[in-house]
Structure 1
Amino acid sequence: MLCLGIESSCDETGLALVRDGKFIAEKLASQVDVHALFGGVVPEIASREHLRALPALFNELMSEQSLTADDLDVIAVARGPGLQGCLLMGLNFAKGLALSTGADLIGVNHLWAHLTAAGLEQELQFPSLGLLVSGGHTHIYLIKSTSEFVLLGRTLDDAAGEAFDKTAKLLNIPYPGGKIVDELGKLGTVDPKMFPTPYIKNDNLDFSFSGLKTAVSLYVQANTELRLPMMGIPDSETDDPEIVRRRNNMFASFNYTVANKLRVKVDRALQRNKGVKSLIVAGGVAANSVVRSVMSDVADKFSIPLVLPSLKFCTDNGAMIAYSGYLLAQDGYRHDFKLEAIPRGRVVPEDWTRISEK
């Protein structure tokens, strides 16, 4: 079974091929440079960039693999959650291909795809506990199978990835700044008391990062010298050494606080869900070095393996959509051409048609 995956939920245009569960190839067009000028993703621009990139990436991908559209058995597309205009670009492209080739169409939950992406490189075990940490979402799931995800906890306001990017922006570091916060934090010293860890003294599995964002904003207001004079990347060779040291300490402390918040809730979830066979951590923030280290400690505490996608499969990509689509298609799930895009803030429905058993 040859499955094409199409990802266009935000600012990455990704297409990839998976054959019988094995990754073959992918093409990815990033819009980071375009949106960095605005300090964040501009939905209208992102949609137009997807429209421009999709045909070219598809032709390059198929040509390099000596394939044609008629070779496709399944076309999987991210149908949500995401920016609606962006999702529609990928969805309409997928429907056009399916209509012209006769390939089966399957809409993929973008969030679930992140969590199953590790299956491209290692065996997934069920049931598992899944932590999704990205720019738009911070969710905990009980994953019973490749098509059964039970939401246990979610962010009530801002996501972890957004907190990283907004922290960088406060210091005049360009979007997306989360990776820079992680890298510079490695050079700093953690002060566990620098920032509070809000919304952990409760008994639920939900998250809140708005309080942490406020604490960082107040800290920067009180220490304006840490802010770069103009937008750019901190340079340890030209900046004042004391400023560099303090800024890196701030990043180290911020990394620690986010990871500690995640640790508390995941630990609580594992205590309440005995018998899970692994801890899966996915999404863009799963590439953060401190988060990976802390989650490894949590998994060790409960004597279960930590399952992490490789760094290239943590951020939005077509391979995760192709693999998730393959798993669903293998179990007999399909969509018709009434398939709708589901914007962020709405629950992605499980409205498949099942045509056969695995």
Structure 2
Amino acid sequence: MFSSPSNGGIIPPIARDLHKQHIERVVEEAVASANLGLGDVDAIATTVKPGMPLSLLVGMNHGKHLARTWGKPFIPIHHMEAHALTIRMVTQVEFPFLVLLISGGHCLLAVAQGVHQFLLLGQSLDDAPGEAFDKVTWSRPAETVCLTLWPRRIRFES
């Protein structure tokens, strides 16, 4: 299990272990889905920060290993920039565009002006929304209040 309700979120050592278990298969599937072999790629890139250090280290170590093995340059990528630019892989989005990234540990609002060119408008200083959500839901107070005070007001139908 990647996260645990009893601790309020992702358990870093378990996340690291899951990354280790799946990284080779994920890389193989990604390269195969592009109809390439690892020898066909020009460089190896992995996210290196910010994020959960244990999980990022798995990706970085595997990326560096592949780069050494195949004689390719290794390119460190900023994790949040990678999320911001992923949309350009699946649809045509022209620069500049507004970026709102909300995750467990980081939150930012920026204008993507180009690759590696971001105008930061604001970012979380303390708890990101995901961290706040984990803290609030850890003991299930929101669910308890809703079920106690409004048991029939919200109907979820399948």
Give TM-score scaled by structure 2 length.
0.78
Instruction: Give the match's secondary structure for 1:73.
Output: coil
SS in 1 for 2:86: helix
Q: Which has the higher strand share?
A: 2
Supply the distance in 1 between the matched residues of 2:96 and 2:29 (Cα, whole angstroms): 38
Q: Do 1:81 and 1:109's aligned partners in 2 also have CA atoms closer than 8 Å?
A: yes
Q: Write the mapping of 1:217-256 to structure 2, written as runs, cut at 5 A.
A: 220=141, 225-226=144-145, 242-245=150-153
Residue number in structure 1 paired with 2:49: 80
Is residue 34 of structure 2 the alignment partner of residue 68 of structure 1? no
* Letter paired with 1:36: S
Distance 1:122 1:146 in 2: 16
Pick one of 115, 127, 136 that aligns with 2:105.
Answer: 136
Distance 1:46 1:68 in 2: 28
Contact in 2 for aligned 1:226/1:243 (Cα 8 Å): no
Residue 50 of structure 1, CA deviation: 1.4
Question: CA–CA distance in 1 between the matches of 2:9 and 2:79?
Answer: 20
Q: Which residue of 1 aligns with 2:129?
A: 160
Aligned pairs for 1:226-305 (under 5 A) are: 226=145, 242-245=150-153
Answer whether contact 2:4 2:11 (CA < 8 A) is retained. no
Query: How far apart in 2 are the matches of 1:65 and 1:120?
Result: 12
Q: CA deviation at 1:96?
A: 0.6
Deviation at 1:105, TM superposition (A): 1.7
| Residue 55 (structure 1) shift | 1.9
1:119/1:244 CA distance change after superposition, 3 Å: farther
Q: Write the mapping of 1:13-28 to structure 2, written as runs, cut at 5 A.
A: none
Q: TM-score, normalised by structure 1?
A: 0.38
- Alpha-carbon offset, residue 62 of structure 1: 4.2
1:99 pairs with 2:68: yes
Structure with the greater alpha carbon radius of gyration: 1
Give aligned pairs, total: 154
Matched, 1:89 2:58: yes
- 1:277-310 Cα offsets, whole Å, 9 max, x none, are xxxxxxxxxxxxxxxxxxxxxxxxxxxxxxxxxx
> Take 2:39 and 2:152, find their aligned partners in 1: how far apart are those partners?
56
Aligned to 1:49: 18
- Residue deviations 1:217-261, cap 9 Å, x none? xxx4xx89537xxxxxxxxxxx7894253xx5xxxxxxxxxxxxx
Please give the alpha-carbon distance, in whole angstroms, between the structure 1 residues aligned to 2:96 and 2:33.
Answer: 38
Question: Which letter does structure 2 place at the counterpart of 1:226?
Answer: V
2:118 aligned residue: 149
Over aligned residue pairs, what C-alpha RMSD do you find? 2.9
Structure-1 separation of matches of 2:133 and 2:64: 35
Equivalent pair of 2:2/2:11 in contact (CA under 8 Å): no
- Report the CA distance between 1:99 and its aligned residue: 0.7
Unmatched 5+ residue regions in structure 2? Answer: none
In the alignment, which residue of structure 2 is the partner of 1:174?
none
| Distance in 1 separating the partners of 2:95 and 2:57 | 32
What are the superposed Cα offsets for residues 3-58 of structure 1, whole Å, 9 maximum, x if unpaired?
Answer: xxxxxxxxxxxxxxxxxxxxxxxxxxxxxx34235431111221122122212333
Task: Give % identity.
Answer: 33
Partner of 2:86: 117
Paired residues of 1:225 and 1:243 also in contact (CA < 8 A): no
The alignment partner of 2:111 has SS state of strand
Match of 1:59 among 28, 45, 52: 28
In structure 2, distance between residues paired with 1:224 and 1:142: 36
